Chains A and B, each alone.
Chain A
Amino acid sequence: DAKTTQPPSMDCAEGRAANLPCNHSTISGNEYVYWYRQIHSQGPQYIIHGLKNNETNEMASLIITEDRKSSTLILPHATLRDTAVYYCIVRPNYGQNFVFGPGTRLSVLP
């Protein structure tokens, strides 16, 4: 079973920041938080991952709370092409496979 909880759906206006929350209250000390997204009819795509520090790359920012029990993926300027299902996954950084939950369906509206 997935170790994360995400809202089933969210809307965001084009050009605005999209903030996608994820709860992982049972996360262990050696487990990383990963984010993937899946655009319609495509395979999932890696976005970002982190352990306890905030992370940023060209796609998004990941904010992890100090107690590591929740995190937020931030798309700073959402576009229509960001419409997708976003998956938050908790996993040790080796060995075990990725367990996907149902994710959050983000709709970016014009």
Chain B
Amino acid sequence: EAGVAQSPRYKIIEKRQSVAFWCNPISGHATLYWYQQVLGQGPKLLIQFQNNGVVDDSQLPKDRFSAERLKGVDSTLKIQPAKLEDSAVYLCASSLTTRSSGELFFGEGSRLTVL
């Protein structure tokens, strides 16, 4: 079974530039999450989708971050314009539904460095 795919693995940009991350969840998984993980901390939820609808985006900085999940499969997370404090690993995860056994499957993450 293929896992959660993310790209790019690494990205370096200058502040005020824009960046986009892509995630392809496990086939059939209705729920998709984007987490931000700053060095030395645990992952923090940015946004949760159920199919192509947003369930929770309360911690998404909406002035600069946006995410979409068209057709309820792949998802894209965009940052525009980036700030220095956005340097982090962006993790995508998926699960069958929010009412599953609770097992989240994570991708390897996209590491962003903002200079």
Contact = CB atoms under 8 A, between A and B. Distances in A.
Nearest to A98: B104
Interface in B81-97: 91, 93
Interface string A7-24: 000000000000000000
B42 A101 contact: yes
B104 A100 contact: no
Given A43-B107, A43-B108, A97-B48, A34 B42 contact: no
A58 B18 CA distance: 43
Interface size class of B (residues with CB under 8 A): 20 to 34
A102 B40 contact: yes
Interface class of chain B by DSSP: loop
A102 B99 CA distance: 25
Contacts of B44: 100
Contact of A45 (B35, B42, B43, B106): B106
B42 A97 contact: no
Contacts of A34: 102
B109 interface: yes
Interface string A63-94: 00000000000000000000001010001011
A87 B37 CA distance: 13
Interface residues of A, number: 24
A84 to B, nearest CB: 13
Nearest to B56: A97
B102 A93 contact: yes
Contact of B101 (A36, A49, A87): A49
Interface of A: 2, 32, 34, 36, 41-46, 49, 85, 87, 91, 93-95, 97-103
- Give 4 closest A-B pairs by Cβ, nearest first: A43-B106, A100-B42, A94-B99, A46-B103
